[in-house]
Amino acid sequence: MLKTINFDEHFADYTSEWMQNHRKDYRTVDAMEADLPRVYLRFLNTPAPWLDGITPGAYFTQFEDPKDLVDWLCAYCENGVPVPELLLEQIENVGKPCEKRLVALLKDDRAGTEARMTAIGLLRSMESTQPKMLYINWQLEREDDDELADNAIDSLAEMGPSVVQPMVEALGKANRAGQTALLDVLVRHPGNERVFQATLKLFREHRDGRALYAGYLGKLGDDRALPELKKAADDPETNYITWLEIRAAIERLGGECRERDFSDDPDYAYLSDIE
């Protein structure tokens, strides 16, 4: 049975005892706190009775079975005990054999959010591309606020050009929130006509998202967007904050934006007062 030992709690106890024993060695609390990294190293390398004499730094290195390690991660999350960094480091050290188990955890809808979020972070640190299609599929029917899908997008952004084509293929199948999330990555790889047209369509059809989509169009660098951007900039219903983003996109694409009077806009008045 793998125990979910609270390493943070034991380190806190170790640190408290160490401070009591060494407080005379330091002139200030700041000086003592600055020495905590060295104290942590001593903690890692000191045999611990609560680990049957094994040092905390060596404890998890005894285990290399991917199933055990990932199941252990889940147990920590389920029991509400902080997941030890040392366990996460061991999963990373075991590396590729753990990838399959972590991806299986991501696919398990019964698993808790914390465990799945941690798995995404681990796979990202391991530079794994195994969950690429899973992450893309999560975007198709996602909600606006979806921390798992957002975390997955961060991973897709780090996977580079290899994710561009499958993400482009997914654009037409995704809801608006999914398209927006996918485009956040795709606009970093300009030159794809489908990406440009999808971004322009969202900008044209969704007034409430114009500030964001204007930024996307600016990043894509295609000056064919200028007529739509200028039209929106001149729209009397475009507020000051959105206009600023549209103007920035127009200028980024080499165009010029006409000035407008926003003296009646509360955001303009507020920002003018700050300045």
DSSP assignment of 48-109: -GGGTT--HHHHGGG---HHHHHHHHHHHHHHTPPPPHHHHHHHHHH-HHHHHHHHHHHH-T
Query: What secondary structure letter does DSSP report for 174?
Result: S
* Residue 13 to residue 64: CA distance in whole angstroms: 29
Q: What is the pLDDT of residue 269?
A: 72
273 falls in which pLDDT band (50, 70, 90)? low
Helices (H), 128-163: 132-138, 147-158
The closest of 237, 262, 238 to 249, measured between CA atoms, is 238
Q: For all residues of the chain together, what is the average pLDDT?
A: 94
Q: Give the number of other Cβ atoms within 10 Å of residue 94's Cβ.
A: 20
- Taking only the tens place, the pLDDT of each residue in 62-120 is 999 999 999 999 999 999 999 999 999 999 999 999 999 999 999 999 999 999 999 99
The closest of 219, 204, 233, 206 to 144, measured between CA atoms, is 206
| Sign for the pseudo-dihedral over CA of 136, 139, 141, 147 | positive
Give yes or no for residue 169 having a pLDDT over 90: yes
| Sign for the pseudo-dihedral over CA of 168, 173, 176, 178 | negative
- Start-to-end C-alpha separation, the chain: 62
